Structure 1
Amino acid sequence: MPVRRLATLWRLGRAFVRESHVTHASDNGASMTRVARFFASHGARAAPLGAGVPALSQLSRVLENASDALASHPALAETAVRVALAELDGLFTPYDAPRFRAACKAAFPATLAFELAELSDTPLRSGVAEQTHRARIGDIPVRITLLRADARAELDDDLALALAAARFAERRSPKAREMHPVEWVRRARESVDAMIDLRQRAADQSYLRFRLREDKRLAVPEVLWDYCNDAVLTTREIETVALSDAAGIASCGLDQADVVATLIEAFFEMALGVGLYHAGLDAAGARVSVEGQTRGQIVLEADNPMMIFAAHEREFLVGVSHALMEGDHKAAARAHLEHGRPETNATHHEVRVEATYRREAERFASPHARRNVGVAHLFGAIGRAPAEHMFSEAHGRIASRAVMLSRSAERIERMAQELAPGVDVWKIARKVVLRLAADQFSLRNLAARFAHEATHWPHTLPRLPALIAKRAAASQDTHGTVFR
């Protein structure tokens, strides 16, 4: 390892150790914030050594924003880092058009001959280590997202350096081990890697286009797989205007309030029904198609962050949302305990879980109680209970998803208040939740569950006699113990 890089590692490791010794129970993540700020200043101070951490000097803002959630609830790390990254315009200065064109040419194989015409001078969007431009390939208007090799290398190098420093600190100090810096930096690295995986993003976009092919409210651009690889993602371009552009929307014969209501309904149905979070339905990046066939539809571009929820996470969010709005805290507690029960002091913890949901249900069970709270508070309440009573890994993931939805719902409510004050976000959200909750017990859904469970029968049925015999033997042993 070069001496200069070793000096940088030593300084970072000592920073972790030093900050861990000033940690107190009341800090609530303050030491993590100080370490993140150290990264920011260290990048500049180490520059003369030629071994600075330029990526971390920008990424420190992400780590600082996420530090509170990471320190108090490490299971929320994925969402905390993703939210903080999404709120940045980009960590690196984007390429200009000529450099972008040259990088695209280098990223594609030599056998793929095509002309990249009408390339936009400035990026449409800049991400963590990527940028998206408008262009044309032949007669096809496209959006091209390029993962910059130099930026990716800097991220990999600097995060590897931070991880090595965290390991050094944990070996040197017991107090540093209590701060869990290795887990903190590793989760940040995993989140960054997931966000810039362009092949996975292209696959998710194709799935989304197939899944929503009959939904007339949403338009999903086609992925052009011939022009995609690990470094480049290419999709057809749909001409759009920003949802916030009242004049542009009106010039196309669309009503802005109707489009806002459509976005709100689609957001809740996508998250709770389909089980997919897409930043294109977030207030900040929402855009509306102005082309003939898709006019008025909200466009979900592939260069926006996307996350898929598991079926049990989606069902939990729907079930607990419905239970809280109906004031049924017992149903919410039952749903919570279905995803994991405490190993010790079970009765004590179950009472606390029910008390937590009772407290939250009182805020949403009536129109009067909901007067001063928004839908974002509902998702915040749904995430708070699994974070407080985290009996299983599933609870951590559910809390993480709920926190992310709460942040997005907060921005959507703010946008609706500014653009369309007459749109009632609560009314739309309640309608969607009631419909999805009723659908969970519909004949169609029960048939789908039956078909899904039937696929496991060939593996379960042959084991059934052995399981019954084992259960009977265990029962006999228990009775024998009692009567001795």
Structure 2
Amino acid sequence: MSLLAVRRLFRIQRVVIRYRLDDLLFALPLPWWLLAVRFVLPWRWIPRRKNELTRGARLRLALQDLGPIFIKFGQLLSTRRDLLPEDIADELMLLQDRVPPFESEKAIALIESQLGAKISQVFTRFDVAPLASASVAQVHAAQLKTGEEVVVKVVRPGLKPIIGSDLAWLFILAKIAERLSADARLLHPVDVVADYEKTIYDELDLLREAANSSQLRRNFEGSTMLYVPQVYWDWCRPKVLVMERIYGVQVTDLATLADQRTDMKKLAERGVELFFTQVFRDSFFHADMHPGNIFVSTVAPWDPQYIAIDCGIVGSLTPEDQDYLARNLFAFFKRDYRRVAQLHIDSGWVPAETKLNEFEAAIRTVCEPIFEKPLKDISFGQVLMRLFQTARRFNMEVQPQLVLLQKTLLNIEGLGRQLYPELDLWSTAQPFLERWMRERVSPKTLIGNLQSQVEQIPHLANMTRDLLERLSQPHAADPPPPYSNRGDHWALRLIGAGLLAGGVVLATAHTQSGDELMAFSAWPAVLMLVAGLYLVVRR
């Protein structure tokens, strides 16, 4: 372990003592033997000072002092007002865009070093005072020589060593947890930390953020739901990003939004629709959607449009993950707990030997009390916590590739309920998911998939020609042919039999199941039956 990591541990300890964060821990309902520890901690013998900061302020300042990893954790917590006391949530909101800035002289020196030119050579005007400051970077308003109003984002100096030492301790804690606790192993803490390591280092590369912003802008080109500012690539570098300056109302400024008569219901519903559009239509979603990165346009309050900035963290899902999530959501909100249990087993999230009936009963026990409330009152955060309580019994595993998605969903839900407490997340998402599932198995999509397969024919033809040339001119050093013609025919027939069997299973499920999603399996079933029949009867 490096000396810097050891020093960082002592730094964390000093911050905990300085802000008396142990008070927050000992305020929890802990076992008596843990509560007894407070009497042997030396710093608790020191009398408390008068006019001490509130607990929320102490937590905010501690996270702020500890650096970007801890600040980002506070940013996530600040969106969960349904899980936090109001005084703590109010303080943590200050971490979203009001982190103390670093010296402007350092920012200017870094910008000039990255651009290879003086500030006056690139910008007509450059505001020395930062416009906003966050955990990883700060931004300055400026005007290009060509007249465009822009913001210049510059990475904080000296972050990598701090992040490296923090991650070293996180890896140590994760490995210890995996070694000592079977429950912890189910959560894959080492994989989660490794995934977060990649994410936060990627965020330090502003060229990656510029590319993400450009992609998200293309995905919503001409959309009335979301606007993404333009990137000026000529002035972008690994530690400097120049992009269009936007003018809007911060999404948490509810008073201003109300004054301009913003349609809050539509705004909240559009936030949900944007999330599902990014996840399911594009498989490319903004994964750092805390309120400090989201603004609302002032152009048409009756038809509100979001403005998204800071695309340093984005996520994507495989088609398999998309399909799994959509089917789970449908089954979950229909209270089809057996289907939820079966989907978990089929996807490998729980061991294949799990007893379906027992797992179904456990899920029903967790979820049924929640559904006694109206859908608009159901908190996904609470559902996730209750579901994780079943993990210990059934060895349910947390999938590291979905951590960003879960974080984004928590952000979106917290934001939506803050804008419009009556938000019914399911009624907003259901039409989109139904349409997406139909489109996945529509003839148009299947033809598109077939077209992508046809595009591979030239490559396959070249491979076949090379194989035939080797077979027609055998050489002693060549390996024997992989199969005979007769074996090839039987292999094709076996494949055909498999397709026939799969087609029969899908067709049976289509005719017998009442699940709307199973109705979309008709086209694949027909294609499998036709292809299988052809391979079996062909000569």
TM-score (structure 2 length as normaliser): 0.59
Q: Given the superposition, is the C-alpha separation of residues 232 and 107 from structure 1 closer, same or farther in structure 2, using an over 3 Å criterion?
A: same
- How many angstroms does 1:226 deviate by? 1.0
CA distance in 2 between counterparts of 1:455 and 1:350 reads: 42
Q: Deviations over 1:281-319 (max 9, x none)?
A: 555543122369xx9421111356433333322222222
Cα distance, 1:214 vs. partner? 3.7
| 1:203 to 2:206 alignment | no
1:68-107 paired onto structure 2 within 5 Å: 88-89=95-96, 93-107=100-114
Three-state SS of the structure 1 residue aligned to 2:139 is: strand
In the other structure, the counterpart of 2:430 is: 430
1:374 is aligned to 2:378 = yes
Alpha-carbon distance change, 193 to 424 in structure 1, aligned in 2, over 3 angstroms? same
Alignment-mate amino acid for residue 289 of structure 1: S
Verify the 8 A CA contact 2:338 2:356 in the aligned structure 1: no
For residues 330 and 301 of structure 1, do their structure 2 counterparts lie closer, same or farther at Cα, with a shift above 3 Å needed?
A: same
Pairing of 1:32-47 with structure 2 (within 5 A): none
Give the secondary structure class of the aligned counterpart of 1:149.
coil
Structure 1 unpaired stretches of 5+: 15-25, 39-53, 67-84, 473-484
Q: Tell me if structure 2 keeps the 8 A contact 1:375–1:425.
A: no
Residue 444 of structure 1 deviates from its aligned partner by 3.5
Matched, 1:317 2:321: no
Task: Return the letter of the residue paired with 2:107.
Answer: F
Matched, 1:443 2:443: yes
Which stretch of structure 1 is more off in the superposition, 428-437 or 310-319? 428-437
Q: Does 1:411 align with 2:420?
A: no
Q: Is the Cα–Cα contact under 8 Å of residues 324 and 343 in structure 2 kept in the other structure?
A: yes
The offset of 1:228, in angstroms, is 1.0
Going from structure 1 to structure 2, the CA distance change for 1:241 and 1:179 (only over 3 Å counts) comes to closer
The 8 Å contact of residues 294 and 309 in structure 2, kept in 1 or not, is answered as: no
Is residue 134 of structure 1 aligned with residue 141 of structure 2?
A: yes
The residue type equivalent to 1:104 in the other structure is I
Assess, with a 3 A threshold, how the Cα gap between structure 1 residues 179 and 302 changes in structure 2: closer, same or farther.
closer
Letter in 2 for 1:126: S
Counterparts of 1:382 and 1:452, CA distance in 2: 43
- Structure 1 contact 379–406 (Cα < 8 Å) conserved: no
Q: Provide the residue aligned with 1:278 in structure 2.
A: 286
Q: Quick one: structure 1 residues 130 and 343, their matched pair in 2 at CA, closer, same or farther if it must change by over 3 Å?
A: same
Counterparts of 1:82-481 in structure 2 under 5 Å? Answer: 88-89=95-96, 93-110=100-117, 114-138=121-145, 139-156=147-164, 158-159=165-166, 162=169, 186=194, 188-245=196-253, 248-249=256-257, 254-278=262-286, 282-283=290-291, 285-290=293-298, 296-302=304-310, 305-340=313-348, 346=353, 348-359=354-365, 362=368, 369-371=373-375, 373-374=377-378, 376-377=380-381, 380=384, 384=388, 395-398=399-402, 401-402=405-406, 404-417=408-421, 424-451=424-451, 469=491
Moved more, 295-304 or 308-317: 295-304
User: Does the 8 Å CA contact 2:268/2:416 hold for their aligned counterparts?
Assistant: no
CA distance in structure 2 between the aligned counterparts of 1:356 and 1:177, rounded to whole angstroms = 20
**Cα distance between partner residues in 2 of 1:277 and 1:108:** 30
CA RMSD of aligned residues (A): 5.3
- Compute the displacement of 1:320 (Å): 1.0
Contact 1:280–1:287, Cα closer than 8 Å, also in 2: no
How far 1:142 sits from its partner (Å)? 1.1
Higher Rg of the two aligned structures: 2
Letter matched to residue 432 of structure 1: F
Query: Aligned pair in 2 of structure 1 residues 382, 262: CA closer, same or farther (>3 Å)?
Result: farther
> Retained in 2: the 8 A contact 1:132–1:144?
yes
Give the whole-Å Cα distance in 1 for the aligned partners of 2:410 and 2:220: 24
- 1:201 Cα deviation (Å)? 1.5
Compute the displacement of 1:363 (Å).
Answer: 5.8
Q: Does the CA contact (< 8 Å) of 1:125 and 1:133 recur in 2?
A: yes
- 1:431/1:235 Cα in 2 relative to 1: closer, same or farther (>3 Å)? same
Residues 287 and 299, structure 1, Cα contact 8 Å, conserved in 2: yes
CA contact (8 A) 2:375 2:426 kept: no
> What's the secondary structure of 2:420's corresponding residue?
helix
Shift of 1:203: 1.3
**Conserved? CA contact 1:383–1:402, under 8 Å:** no
How far the C-alpha of 1:336 sits from its partner, in A, is 2.7
Q: Distance in 1 between matches of 2:343 and 2:452?
A: 21
What secondary structure is seen at the aligned counterpart in 1 of 2:415? helix
The DSSP-based 3-state class of the residue aligned with 1:208 is helix
Deviations 1:54-106 (A, max 9, x none): 9983467469879xxxxxxxxxxxxxxxxxx9994479741344443332112
Say if 1:351 and 1:133 are closer, same or farther in 2 by CA, change over 3 A. Answer: farther
